[in-house]
Amino acid sequence: MSDLHDHEPGAFDAYLSDAEVHVEAGNPDIEVTVTVPVASKTLTALAERAQREGRNVEALIADALRSAA
């Protein structure tokens, strides 16, 4: 991996192994919020990366979650 914050595709599998997922047809009038526990050190590193890259920290975190999925 070329970047400290990039992860192997299965890097978070152990953390998600007990997660329960229920998928139902979506409703455009409902907003879904996903809560993911993040260590403060990891969040600080993501915020620092966002600043270095001139990006929005929320977008950076969303990218990290998508790549981990």
Residue 2 has pLDDT above 60, yes or no: no
Q: Report how far apart the first and last C-alpha atoms of the chain are (Å, whole number).
A: 17
pTM of the shown model: 0.43
* 49 pLDDT tier (thresholds 50, 70, 90): confident
Name every residue whose Cβ is closer than 8 Å to that of residue 35 and which is 6 or more positions away in sequence: none
Residue 64: count other Cβ atoms within 10 Å of its Cβ. 19
DSSP label of 50: H
Residue 1 has pLDDT above 50, yes or no: no
